[in-house]
Amino acid sequence: MIQTPYLLFLGDAPDQLAAKVAQGIKDWRPENAVAQFRMDGCKADLGIADMTLAQARDAGAKTLVIGVANRGGVISAAWKAVLIEAIEMGFDLASGLHNLLNDEPDLVAAAEKHGRTLFDVRIPTVDYPIANGKKRSGKRCLAVGTDCSVGKMYTALAMDKTMRERGMKSTFRATGQTGILITGDGVPLDAVIADFMAGSVEYLTPDNDDDHWDLIEGQGSLFHVSYSGVTMALVHGGQPDALILCHEPTRPHMRGLPDYTPPSLEQVRDVALTLARVANPACQVVGVSVNTQHMTDTDARAYLAQVETDMGLPATDPFRYGADKLVDALAEV
């Protein structure tokens, strides 16, 4: 578990998009974002206070989070100087970079010397069990997509936020690097050994209060041949009571697979529900989350209305129009 709150390290980000991890933390857990740390030439800005390491430490920040994608997969000498100084000042470091903090001898040496921890959230640190399939108390909702990168994490985070605002009991359960950095905890599912995938999802979503909802971040798609096994482990390990279908209607082909046409919402509904009911016979599909970012407001509203008619389910774009419809549906389960 990564200690919060954070100082968000933006380094020398070449543009705003490069800082999307930091942006996610600031958007979804603003209480964790004490300040940003920007180096010379940084082109990203989260619109929060800039602080020095000392200022951030005095303001209570516990962990410096690498909130930026690095260039060329290398932790540069310029970054390194800041990171080592942060360790010396008492910060832990957390990162989702492919280039691991723990593979950098000087960072490791500094962390050992000063008793700090380097969190590489791409690497599992828990020996997960084999899934046992036992029924757990509490409720679980899983976002399943027609494709990768259609807004599953965003949907779960938006629902979690709305539920908390309503005083419902909910927890966003991160299964990817960005989600883990946002919440400080989770399972890096794509890096788990095959036999333990479903067990890691059971571990992530344990027994809970009967009226508590886990909002489980989805991964991949049952229809994406590169990653469908990961999705399958979420459907069975997550034991969901409710599924939210996630879709991006303008995509010409599956992400990274030019020869593959995205499935229809009906196809995803039928296959996902059949498989989910193996682990939880009471599972229902409760709503549709549509990523309408490439559509006009008029087109988006018309599309959502059509989906509601065709599927008989509430449909919304939680980024554009809020997650209330989906949360209303979940409250009925």
Looking at the Cβ atoms of 169 and 251, the one nearer to a copy of itself is 251
Q: Contact, 289 vs 245, CB < 8 A? A: yes
Distance CA 84, CA 163 (A): 39
Contact pick of 257, 301, 308, 321 for a copy of itself (by CB under 8 A): 257
Contact pick of 15, 31, 105, 134 for a copy of itself (by CB under 8 A): 134
By CB under 8 A, residue 278 contacts a copy of itself: yes
Considering only the C-alpha atoms of the chain, give the largest distance between any 2 of them, rounded to a whole number of Å: 62
Contact pick of 10, 227, 269, 286 for a copy of itself (by CB under 8 A): 227
Q: Binding segment for a copy of itself among 14-22, 73-81, 235-243, 284-292 (CB under 8 A)?
A: 235-243
Tokens of 241: 């009571």
Q: Binding segment for a copy of itself among 72-80, 272-280, 282-290, 292-300 (CB under 8 A)?
A: 272-280
CB atoms within 10 A of CB 200: 27
Looking at the Cβ atoms of 274 and 293, the one nearer to a copy of itself is 274
Polymer length in residues for the chain: 333
Distance CA 138, CA 122 (A): 28
Residues in Cβ contact with 289 at an 8 Å cutoff, skipping those fewer than 6 apart: 143, 151, 155, 244, 245, 246, 247, 315, 316, 317, 318, 326
Query: How do beta strands 169-173 and 212-216 pair?
Result: parallel
Query: What is the pattern of x (binds a copy of itself, CB under 8 A) and - over residues 159-198?
Result: ------------------------------xxxxxxx-xx
- Burial class of residue 298 in the structure, from the number of CB atoms within 10 Å of its CB (0-12 exposed, 13-18 middle, 19+ buried): exposed
Least Å distance, CB 235 to a copy of itself, is 8
By CB under 8 A, residue 263 contacts a copy of itself: yes
Residue the block writes with tokens 């549906």 = 329
Least Å distance, CB 273 to a copy of itself, is 11
By CB under 8 A, residue 100 contacts a copy of itself: no
Contact pick of 16, 80, 89, 260 for a copy of itself (by CB under 8 A): 260
Footprint of a copy of itself (CB under 8 A):
130-135, 189-195, 197-199, 222-223, 225-233, 235-237, 254, 256-257, 259-260, 263, 270-271, 274-275, 278-279
